[in-house]
Amino acid sequence: MRNRTLVCVALALLALPSFGQQYREIRGEKEFSGEMIVRPVGYDDLAKRGITGQAARDVRSRAINRFRPNMIRVIPGTDMYVVRVPSGFNENTYSSSLMATSDYRYAEPNYIVYPLAVTPNDPLFNRQWHHAVMGSTVGWTYGTGTSNVTVGICDTGIMKNHEDLTPSILPGYNSVDELTEANGGDVNDVNGHGTHVAGCATAIGNNSRGLAGVCWNAKILPVKVSNSPGGGAFFDDILGGAKWAAENGARVVSASYSGVEGQAVGDTGTYIKQLGKIFLYAAGNSPVNLDFEHPDTIVVSSSSTQDRASNWSAYGRGVHVLAPGETVWSTTNDGGYQGWFGTSMSTPVANGVCALIWSINPNLTEQEVRDILYSTCVRIPKADGSALDYSHGRVSVSGAALEAFRSLSIETKFKPTVVRTIRGTYFSGNLNLIQNGAGGGYRVRSEAVANRGHYTDMGMDFKSGVSRSSLLSLTIRADASSNVDGTTAMLYVWNYQTSNWQFMKAAAATRNPNKMEVTINSGFDRYVAADGSIKTMTRVFSTDRRRGQAGVPFVGALRFGEIHVTVRR
Predicted pLDDT at 20: 47
User: With 90 as the cut, is the pLDDT of residue 76 above it?
Assistant: no
pLDDT tens figures, 85-116: 998 898 999 999 999 999 999 999 998 876 66
* pLDDT band per the 50, 70, 90 thresholds, residue 550: low
pLDDT tens figures, 33-74: 889 999 999 999 999 999 999 999 999 999 999 999 999 888
Residue 201 parent element (H or E): helix 193-202
User: With 90 as the cut, is the pLDDT of residue 544 above it?
Assistant: no
3-state SS of the chain: helix, strand, coil percent to 5?
A: 25, 30, 45
Instruction: Report the relative pairing of strands 112-113 and 80-84 from DSSP bridges.
Output: unpaired
Instruction: Tell me what the pLDDT averaged over the chain comes to.
Output: 91
Model-level pTM?
A: 0.66
- What string of DSSP letters covers 156-200? S-B-TT-TTTGGGBPP-EETTTTEEGGGT---B-SSSHHHHHHHH
pLDDT tens figures, 258-317: 999 999 999 999 999 999 999 999 999 999 999 999 999 999 999 999 999 999 999 999
pLDDT tens figures, 8-26: 322 222 233 344 457 887 7
Any alpha helices (H) in 68-184, and if so which ranges?
Answer: 91-99, 129-134, 136-139
Those residues with Cβ within 8 angstroms of residue 360's Cβ, 6 or more apart along the chain or in another chain? 142, 143, 401, 404, 405, 408
CA distance 36 to 11: 10
Predicted pLDDT at 19: 44
Domains of the chain by start residue, with CATH: 1-114 (no CATH), 133-407 (3.40.50.200), 409-569 (2.60.120.260)
Predicted pLDDT at 153: 98
* pLDDT band per the 50, 70, 90 thresholds, residue 549: low
pLDDT tens figures, 329-362: 999 999 999 999 999 999 999 999 999 999 999 9
Predicted pLDDT at 488: 92
CA distance 461 to 562: 10
Q: Is the dihedral of CA 379, 384, 390, 396 positive or negative?
A: negative
User: With 80 as the cut, is the pLDDT of residue 81 above it?
Assistant: yes
Average pLDDT over residues 423-427: 97
Predicted pLDDT at 521: 80
Cβ pair 207, 164 in contact under 8 A: yes
Cβ pair 324, 302 in contact under 8 A: yes
Phi and psi angles of residue 424, each rounded to the nearest 5 degrees, phi first: 110, -170
Beta bridge partners of 278: 252
CA distances from 207 to 116, 120, 121 (A): 20, 8, 7
CA distance 237 to 95: 62
* 227-231, 236-240, 437-441, 544-548, range with the lowest pLDDT: 544-548
